């Protein structure tokens, strides 16, 4: 009686959790212009089923089968990164698969082969149980003895290891005592059954859910590309948030991961940031630290794609970061776009947006950076220098290179070779001031005019102007310093849920 009640309760929790997690893949969306939450997931489900059918009955089936063998069954992606970690996964994964076949399905499979299965010790259970315990031991060794760099351990990891150990140890003890003492066997049986059903019920609500989502992520990314249906891409990205195991591989390969050593906030690491993204897109309340982690990740990411290449779960992290940042940009929760390396990468992907969608955050960011710099109109035919406060004629904090603007004599070489200026028929209308005019504004001490020009934010930092200056004026470096100066004076970026670390990293070295 207890067995059946516990089984049905566990299955009910498991099924409810499974339906909830899978429904999130279709209900929730990442990226703009798609709404964050659609009223119905039916269209996305139909699109996913059409894509699945096209894969199963199309030329991509062989690629799907190859990925299943190499990356799901043999886990060669993990082997290429770390043999010890691969051995741990193989022991736990295949040990449990063997247990499932020889124990959970014993009445269907094993008893049909061994007629005295219940009257003797089952060597299959003991061997597979030992495999899982060996895998758990390797996991503990990696986490607590050799301490793999940037591998973080939290309550979810402890839960997974403890519940696995209890299930396996109690199962092996039950098998060893079944012929010696029925009384002890019965006690251990209760422990084993309750631990097993408890673990089953919590799978959809814990890190262990990746035993389903990680293989799905590997298979989906093997057959999907940028030409896939946008609805399926969004569904895959929501699934990828559940597929992440926070193994730390992406953090170890991240080109800017060392920044967290200086900042002191480990949540900017890609693997740690995934946990906050999952909470963010599940409509949970995100803490200040969680939002700070995402903001800092947006600022620091160089779009180098190293994380995607090495991810053992097959997650397309580069595309995921792009979608997440786009959503946060349009909801005004991201640092000013013009201060980030992402502005260049976003420009390379301009064709993915409508004109208004692409320009709106750029205009918003520039206006925010220059909101207090309106004392002088660049289109006035005559600039009156008399009212300019004396304090505005100095630029405290500029570098030695930036001070070279005093050598400018307006030969206009810098503006002539500038590709931004060459892009417009009427450049002064679009950029306010051309590079040589900014140099003269700085020389005349018209601080607001120099820092309020849109040319600062349109600059490509190609250094053409600086290389062609006959006076050795460090034009690009001056524009760079003026941008940072404007950012500091205007305290750029979102105003809510921002820690001191978030502000410091935005201004640290653009």
Asked if 256 and 392 sit in the same domain, the reply is no
Q: What is the CATH number of the domain that holds 57?
A: 1.20.950
pLDDT of amino acid 375 = 47
Is 220 contained in some domain? no
Calculate what percentage of the chain has a pLDDT beyond 90. Answer: 20
Is 187 contained in some domain? yes
Asked if 382 and 358 sit in the same domain, the reply is no
pLDDT of amino acid 255 = 83
Over range 170-175, report the average pLDDT: 83
pLDDT of amino acid 102 = 72
Coil vs helix vs strand at 340:
coil
Q: How far is CA 371 from the centre of its chain?
A: 32
Mean pLDDT for the chain overall: 79
pLDDT of amino acid 70 = 94
Q: Locate tokens 């001191």: which residue?
A: 500
Over range 257-264, report the average pLDDT: 75
Is 244 contained in some domain? no
Q: How confident is the model at residue 386 (pLDDT cuts 50, 70, 90)?
A: very low
Asked if 177 and 75 sit in the same domain, the reply is yes
Q: Which of 212, 239, 262 is the last residue in one of the domains?
A: 212
Q: How confident is the model at residue 121 (pLDDT cuts 50, 70, 90)?
A: low
Top pLDDT among 414 and 124 is at 414
Has residue 394 got a pLDDT over 70?
no
**What does the buried/exposed string (b/e) look like for 206-220 if buried means 16 or more CB atoms within 10 Å of the residue's CB?**
bbbbbebbbbbbbbb
Asked if 411 and 270 sit in the same domain, the reply is no
Structure tokens at 399: 């570098």
Has residue 207 got a pLDDT over 80?
yes
HSE-CB at 79 with a 13 A cutoff on CA atoms is 9
Q: Which of 324, 344, 363 is the last residue in one of the domains?
A: 363
Structure tokens at 365: 């960011």
Query: Which range of residues forms the domain containing residue 100?
Result: 2-212
Q: What are the backbone dihedrals phi and psi of residue 229, each rounded to the nearest 5 degrees, phi first?
A: -60, 130
Has residue 308 got a pLDDT over 80?
yes
Asked if 175 and 282 sit in the same domain, the reply is no
Asked if 56 and 149 sit in the same domain, the reply is yes
Has residue 169 got a pLDDT over 50?
yes
Has residue 125 got a pLDDT over 60?
yes
Q: Which of 329, 363, 397 is the last residue in one of the domains?
A: 363
Q: What is the CATH number of the domain that holds 394?
A: 1.10.1060
Asked if 192 and 87 sit in the same domain, the reply is yes
Is 347 contained in some domain? yes
Q: How many domains does the chain have?
A: 3
Is 118 contained in some domain? yes
Is 286 contained in some domain? yes
Paired residues of 37 in beta bridges: 28
Asked if 128 and 255 sit in the same domain, the reply is no
Residue 417, exposed/middle/buried by CB under 10 A (0-12, 13-18, 19+)? middle
Q: How confident is the model at residue 116 (pLDDT cuts 50, 70, 90)?
A: low
d(CA 155, CA 408): 61
pLDDT of amino acid 201 = 92
Top pLDDT among 462 and 355 is at 462
Asked if 352 and 271 sit in the same domain, the reply is yes
Top pLDDT among 216 and 484 is at 216
129-143, 224-238, 337-351, 496-510: least confidently modelled range: 496-510
pLDDT of amino acid 184 = 79
Has residue 371 got a pLDDT over 80?
no
Is 219 contained in some domain? no
Asked if 41 and 151 sit in the same domain, the reply is yes
Paired residues of 28 in beta bridges: 37
Over range 236-256, report the average pLDDT: 88
- Overall pTM surpassing 0.95 (yes/no): no
d(CA 378, CA 383): 8
177-181, 185-189, 200-204, 252-256: least confidently modelled range: 177-181
Asked if 13 and 120 sit in the same domain, the reply is yes
Contact 188, 174 (CB under 8 A): yes
Asked if 300 and 322 sit in the same domain, the reply is yes
84-98, 450-464, 482-496: least confidently modelled range: 482-496
pLDDT of amino acid 436 = 92
Over range 466-487, report the average pLDDT: 87
pLDDT of amino acid 39 = 44
Is 423 contained in some domain? yes
Q: How far is CA 329 from the centre of its chain?
A: 15
Structure tokens at 23: 């429904």
């Amino acid at each position: 009686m207890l067995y059946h009640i516990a089984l049905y309760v566990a299955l009910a929790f498991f099924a409810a959790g499974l339906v909830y997690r899978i429904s999130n893949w279709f209900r929730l969306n990442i990226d703009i212009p798609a709404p964050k939450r659609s009223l119905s997931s039916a269209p996305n489900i139909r699109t996913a089923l059409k894509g699945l059918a096209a894969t199963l009955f199309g030329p991509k089936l062989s690629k799907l089968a190859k990925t299943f063998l190499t990356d799901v069954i043999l886990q060669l992606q993990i082997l290429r990164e770390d043999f010890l970690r691969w051995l741990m996964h193989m022991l736990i994964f295949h040990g449990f698969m063997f247990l499932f076949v020889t124990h959970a399905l014993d009445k269907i499979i094993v008893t049909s082969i061994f007629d005295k299965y219940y009257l003797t010790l089952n060597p299959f259970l003991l061997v597979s149980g030992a495999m899982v315990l060996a895998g758990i031991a390797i996991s503990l060794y990696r986490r607590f003895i050799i301490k793999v760099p940037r591998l973080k351990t939290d309550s979810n990891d402890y839960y997974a290891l403890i519940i696995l150990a209890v299930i396996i140890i109690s199962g092996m003890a039950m098998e060893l005592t079944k012929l010696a003492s029925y009384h002890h066997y019965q006690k251990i049986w209760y422990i084993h059954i309750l631990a097993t059903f408890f673990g089953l019920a919590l799978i959809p609500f814990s890190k262990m859910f990746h035993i389903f989502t990680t293989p799905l992520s590997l298979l989906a990314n093997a057959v999907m590309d940028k030409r896939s249906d946008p609805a399926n891409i969004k569904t895959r990205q929501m699934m990828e948030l559940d597929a992440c195991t926070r193994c730390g591989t992406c953090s170890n390969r991240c080109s800017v991961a060392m920044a967290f050593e200086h900042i002191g906030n480990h949540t900017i690491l890609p693997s740690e940031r995934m946990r906050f993204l999952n909470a963010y897109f599940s409509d949970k309340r995100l803490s200040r630290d969680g939002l700070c982690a995402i903001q800092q990740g947006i600022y620091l990411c160089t779009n180098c794609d190293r994380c995607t290449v090495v991810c053992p779960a097959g997650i397309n992290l580069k595309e995921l970061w792009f979608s997440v940042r786009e959503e946060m940009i349009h909801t005004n929760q991201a640092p000013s776009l013009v201060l980030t390396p992402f502005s260049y990468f976003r420009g390379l992907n301009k064709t993915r947006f409508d004109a208004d969608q692409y320009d709106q955050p750029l205009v918003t960011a520039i206006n925010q950076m220059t909101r207090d710099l309106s004392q002088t109109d660049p289109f006035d035919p005559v600039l009156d220098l008399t009212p300019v406060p004396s304090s505005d004629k100095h630029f405290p904090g500029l570098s030695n290179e930036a001070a070279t603007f005093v050598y400018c004599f307006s030969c206009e070489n810098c503006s002539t070779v500038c590709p931004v200026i060459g892009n417009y028929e009427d450049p002064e209308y679009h950029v306010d001031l051309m590079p040589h005019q900014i140099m003269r504004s700085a020389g005349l001490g018209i601080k607001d005019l120099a820092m309020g020009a849109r040319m600062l934010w349109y600059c490509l930092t190609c250094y053409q102007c600086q290389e062609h200056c006959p006076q050795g004026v460090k034009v690009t470096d001056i524009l760079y310093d003026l941008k940072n100066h404007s950012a500091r004076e205007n305290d750029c970026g979102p105003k809510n849920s921002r820690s001191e670390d978030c502000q410091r990293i935005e201004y640290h070295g653009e």
